[in-house]
Amino acid sequence: MIEFEQLKRILEAALLASSAPLSLPQLFTLFGEDEQPSHDDLARALDELARDCEGRGIELKEVASGFRYQVRAEVNLWVSRLWTERQTRYSRAQLETLALIAYRQPITRGEIENIRGVAVSSNIIKTLEEREWIRTVGHRDVPGKPELFGTTRAFLDYFNLKSLDELPPLAEIRDLSDFEPQLGLAPVAIGATADDASIDGDGAATSAHGTQYDVESPAAAAADTAGTDAPDEAHDLADEGDTTMTSADAAPAPTEHIP
């Protein structure tokens, strides 16, 4: 049996060296048969490593894919200055689409269009799929068999969530008149790849290579959409090529789904 302090050092080194979160089964593979720690010892070691980070600029965080070391949100404003690449921004149309998928999944493209009141550009779906935030999880059993979209583990990891249950209720957000739509989520993971990202002090996400994304929380975008009777078509038409839907284009009203 491996000594406890040595166990902590091994876990710490592995988490720092990894470019992605490590799950408990992955951490167990670090040890041979004759040195396997117990589940209790592994959990205790991770808990102590997390407490060791108190008062420091990094933290040990559990997300959907496992555990990772990451920069704390309160110091990310300074750390993000290490990267100076040109900013890339996500449009409101993309964020509203992502929010509807997150809160109403599984949902079809037609149902998203019916809620938003405008056609969803193929580029929006493509961008979210390339980012690996959404994926096809099935097909609706109606004529045409439209794709059903849902979020991925990468979405949860990016927004610093362990599960969809951690998304804030929309009703709570709509009640906050002074709510500022910015995220203090997903700080830079230590040893992150270029696709790992953080949120800076102004609510912009910063990748490991410095690309910044003007990201509003899915909750805020969904709350804005849900609380608006008529969509603001101007911003959608300007960037995403959305087109106003006619009555002939309207998709069936979506079935409420609580993830």
Q: What is the pLDDT of residues 200-259, one digit of tens each?
A: 333 333 333 333 344 455 665 655 555 544 334 333 333 444 544 433 344 444 444 444
For range 150-160, the mean pLDDT: 93
For range 90-106, the mean pLDDT: 91
What pLDDT is attached to residue 89?
Answer: 76
Greater model confidence, 204 or 16: 16
CATH topology of domain 4-71: Arc Repressor Mutant, subunit A (1.10.10)
Taking CA atoms, 228 is separated from 25, 63, 117, 156, 217, in Å, by 45, 32, 11, 26, 17
Q: 92-181+216-239: which CATH number, 3.30.1360.170, 3.30.70.20, 1.10.3720.10, 1.10.10.10?
A: 1.10.10.10
Grade residue 88 by pLDDT with cuts at 50, 70 and 90.
Answer: low
Nearest 10 degrees: CA dihedral of 221, 223, 225, 228?
-140
Grade residue 60 by pLDDT with cuts at 50, 70 and 90.
Answer: very high
Q: Nearest-5° angle of CA 146, CA 64, CA 98?
A: 40
Q: Do domains 4-71 and 92-181+216-239 have the same CATH topology?
A: yes
Q: Rounded mean pLDDT of the chain? A: 75
3-state DSSP of the chain: CCCHHHHHHHHHHHHHHCCCCECHHHHHCCCCHHHCCCHHHHHHHHHHHHHHCCCCCEEEEEECCEEEEEECHHHHHHHHHHCCCCCCCCCHHHHHHHHHHHHHCCEEHHHHHHHHCECCCHHHHHHHHHCCCEEEEEECCCCCCCEEEEECHHHHHHCCCCCHHHCCCHHHHHCCCCCCCCCCCCCCECCCCCCCEEECCCCEEEECCCCEEECCCHHHHHHHHHCCCCCCHHHHHHHCCCCECCCCCCCCCCCCCCC
Q: Which of 25-34, 62-71, 124-133, 223-232 has the lowest mean pLDDT?
A: 223-232
- Can you tell me the distance from the alpha carbon of 214 to that of 203, in angstroms, rounded to the nearest whole number? 7
- Can you tell me the distance from the alpha carbon of 105 to that of 138, in angstroms, rounded to the nearest whole number? 11
Q: pLDDT over 90 for what percent of the chain?
A: 52
For range 55-65, the mean pLDDT: 94
What pLDDT is attached to residue 12?
Answer: 96
What pLDDT is attached to residue 90?
Answer: 80
CA atoms within 13 A on the CB side of 237: 9
pLDDT digits (tens, 9 = 90+) for 157-212: 998 899 999 888 877 655 433 333 333 344 556 655 434 443 333 333 333 333 33
What pLDDT is attached to residue 213?
Answer: 40
48 has pLDDT over 90: yes
What pLDDT is attached to residue 220?
Answer: 59
Domain spans in the chain, listed from the N-terminal domain onward:
4-71, 92-181+216-239
What pLDDT is attached to residue 169?
Answer: 83
Does the reported pTM lie above 0.85?
no
